[in-house]
Structure 1
Amino acid sequence: MKNLFLSAAIVLGGLTSFASTSPISNTIVKTISIQEEYTEIKVVELPTAVTDALKKAYPDAVLTKAYKNAKSEYKLDVTVGDKVGSLYANADGSWIKK
């Protein structure tokens, strides 16, 4: 009889450890988006390497606006047919993915 009570106590004691709940932890993730400042410049102020690269890569593109940032990177607003988009280039005319 003692063995029966002892085994029941051990089994019930073992089950309580599985029934316990673990504490909930909330993780907060902050995302910071850094947007580079581009200032508008005249299209004629673009380096010839950039305009040549644009003509070579997109011969039908119409350059509408140009922007420059502090790193001498250029943002070009272009229109090709009915599509409007922005391209990014270095001063040497190589394209930048953004």
Structure 2
Amino acid sequence: MVKKVILNGVEIQVEEYEEEVVHQPNGEPLHKIRFAFKVRSDEYHDITTLLYQQTFDVSVPERDLNFRGTIQNYSTSVTNLYKKNQVGDFRLELIETISQ
């Protein structure tokens, strides 16, 4: 099981992980990953600042997978983790960006 995903050098410990290859109309294969992770209130600012970047160098070391990806879908169980000792469930779906 995949235990971490690295986005722009930031390691995220994951709880759930799915991976697939999707094909563009021209047949070009693109990687797509979905994962869930916990965010504590003391990490909230750093994680949301990272996610605002929207496009990342993605690495999944246990799968030897590396690609440039962008957020396709994102959700969280909490919209404000600035309250001390809160924990939110985040879900993120990234798709490989098309090479130009």
Pick the structure with greater CA Rg.
1
TM-score, normalising length from structure 2? 0.28
Q: Could you say which structure has the higher helix fraction?
A: 1
Quick check: which one's strand share is greater?
Answer: 2
TM value normalised by structure 1: 0.28
Structure ranking higher on relative contact order (CA contacts 8 Å, 6+ apart):
2
